Amino acid sequence: MFRAPVLTAVLLTLSLTVVAQISHTSQQGSISGTVTTGQNHLTGNLRVEVRDLISGTLVATTYTNDSGAFEVDNIGFGSYEVVVTSGVSEAREEVRVASMSTNITMRIVAQPTSDAGNADTVSVTDFKIPKKAREAYHKAEQAVQSLKTDEAMLQISKALQIYPRYAAAMTLRGILKLDKDASQDALADLEQAIQFDPAYATGYLALGAAYNNLSRFEDSIRTLDRGIALAPTAWQGYFELGKAYVGKGDFASAIKQLNKAEDMAPKGFALLHLVKAHAMLGLKDYPAAMLELQSYLTLHPEGANSEAARKTLDEVRTFVARTGQR
């Protein structure tokens, strides 16, 4: 019998991206807009993200001002998705930047969650963060996007010196530690982050990823369930939950969660196919496993996992041919 390769850890891509940037044309413009609530009130201090429409790559972040307005400059011509979040609520709009200035109006309706607080309680937590701490955190996000990890860590340290209970900054530091395979080190930051802000969904998703890396799958499932309840549209939660179920050997549950992740994740996220292949092998669905392995290799022909995936695919083919299994 062949054995499926051991899956390596993957950085949880949350509100940041530390992979190659998507290139647009050299022409640049800006996106500006206004955000209102369901009662048409202007809404300030809401997070605004601009993401590449195809890959989901984070291009820029900002916050609405007291008048509910925002502006993002130096955006290359192309197609984007603007995401506005208020606690656990969000609004999304696709935007085509093809001129010097693009203006939109968005509307967001806050929805309370079951027992994790609502958008109002999250906003109260956010308002406690001093402006200079928030500015340092935004600089850290920009540094991460530019693959300047040392600069990101420096800015995170500044933010935490100003406001030690800054859950987002502590979570980002934990994520960067995960990327360096320092999961045990990251654990302290991530566990502290959700204590500082029990309604911060990203903290739960990152903590679940750390538990996965440490093979603490029951803890991961419990933590990710809470994170998904807070952020039901975050594909990373379903992806990590699928990994946790693979680790437990519950392959049917893993496939269910990974299918949800695939429906939401940016197209071309290769590692998802590798995890699905592992689950399919556990279910002895060899044709499906081969398709997933081939999909992974098509999207990612070279890399840390590619050689092992190619070897496993050859082994599965040989096994199926020898035994006549379908």
Helix (H, G, I), strand (E, B) or coil at 187: helix
pTM of this structure: 0.64
Measured between alpha carbons, how far apart are the two ends of the chain, in Å?
A: 16
Q: State the DSSP string of 218-251.
A: HHHHHHHHHHHHH-TT-HHHHHHHHHHHHHHT-H
* Helix (H) or strand (E) run with residue 117 in it: none
Helix (H, G, I), strand (E, B) or coil at 159: helix
317: how many CB neighbours lie within 10 A of its CB?
13
pLDDT for position 233? 82
Contact 305, 274 (CB under 8 A): yes
From 271, 252, 61, select the one nearest 168 (Cα to Cα): 61
Output helix, strand, coil percentages for the chain, rounded to the nearest 5. Answer: 50, 15, 35
Burial label for 278, CB within 10 Å (0-12, 13-18, 19+), is: buried
* Helix (H) or strand (E) run with residue 193 in it: helix 183-196
- CA distance linking residue 46 with residue 68, whole number of Å: 8
Contact 255, 275 (CB under 8 A): no
Compute the half-sphere exposure of residue 272: CA atoms within 13 Å on the CB side of its CA.
23
Convert the pLDDT of each residue in 45-89 to its tens digit: 778 888 887 666 778 888 887 777 888 888 888 888 888 877 656
Residue 314's φ and ψ, nearest 5 degrees, are -65, -40
Q: Is the sign of the CA dihedral 166, 156, 62, 262 positive or negative?
A: negative
- CA distance linking residue 178 with residue 206, whole number of Å: 9
Convert the pLDDT of each residue in 102-132 to its tens digit: 777 777 654 333 333 333 334 445 667 888 9
* Residue 246 to residues 131, 133, 249, 278, 296, Cα–Cα distance (Å): 42, 39, 5, 7, 17
| CA 179 to chain CA mean position, Å | 13
Describe the crossing of helices 306-323 and 270-282 by its angle, rounded to 10 degrees: 30
- CA distance linking residue 154 with residue 144, whole number of Å: 11
Which residue type sits at 286?
Answer: Y
- CA distance linking residue 44 with residue 68, whole number of Å: 5
Map out the domains of the chain as residue ranges.
Answer: 28-111, 266-326
Describe the crossing of helices 201-213 and 217-230 by its angle, rounded to 10 degrees: 160
Per-residue pLDDT of the chain (326 residues; tens, 9 = 90+): 233 333 223 333 333 322 222 233 447 788 888 887 655 555 667 788 888 876 667 788 888 877 778 888 888 888 888 888 776 567 788 888 887 777 777 776 543 333 333 333 344 456 678 889 989 998 998 888 788 889 999 999 999 999 999 999 999 999 999 888 898 999 999 999 999 998 888 899 999 999 999 999 999 999 999 998 888 888 889 999 999 999 999 999 999 999 999 888 877 788 899 999 999 999 999 999 999 999 999 988 887 788 888 999 999 889 888 887 66
**CATH superfamily, region 28-111:** Carboxypeptidase-like, regulatory domain (2.60.40.1120)
